[in-house]
């Protein structure tokens, strides 16, 4: 029996669906631009909820660090990007785990 694994309160299976809508484009300056077009709400909603939960967690961590170090606070845009990177990395790690246990079965 396969257990439903969650990331930030959303099933991993529903979160990976959005990647089917991602497109990448290499910019002349070497950066890679990622876009997603015409994503159905049923696919977008779980991803956005998980992303917002991750961003909220980072905001709380940032608030808890105020006054503890001399570093500049993270900007809202940087926090959003950091939350996205964290979410994608976590989804990837969970999918690797799922693959490893299905191979072991």
* Digit-coded pLDDT (tens) for 17-31: 999 999 999 999 999
Of 3-17, 63-77, 90-104, the range with the lowest mean pLDDT is 63-77
pLDDT computed for residue 1 by the predictor: 47
Among the listed residues 55, 49, 63, the one whose alpha carbon sits nearest the alpha carbon of residue 14: 49
Cα–Cα distance, 36 to 26 (Å, whole number): 15
pTM: 0.85
């Amino acid at each position: 029996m396969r257990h439903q694994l969650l990331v930030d309160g959303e099933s991993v299976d529903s979160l990976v669906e959005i990647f089917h809508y991602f497109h990448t484009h290499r910019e002349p300056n070497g950066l890679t631009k990622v876009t997603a077009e015409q994503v159905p709400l049923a696919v977008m909603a779980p991803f956005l909820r998980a992303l917002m939960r991750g961003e909220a967690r980072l905001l709380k961590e940032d608030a808890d660090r105020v006054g503890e170090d001399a570093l500049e606070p993270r900007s809202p845009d940087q926090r959003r990007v950091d939350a996205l990177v964290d979410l994608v990395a976590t989804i990837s790690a969970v999918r690797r785990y799922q693959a490893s246990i299905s191979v072991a079965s």
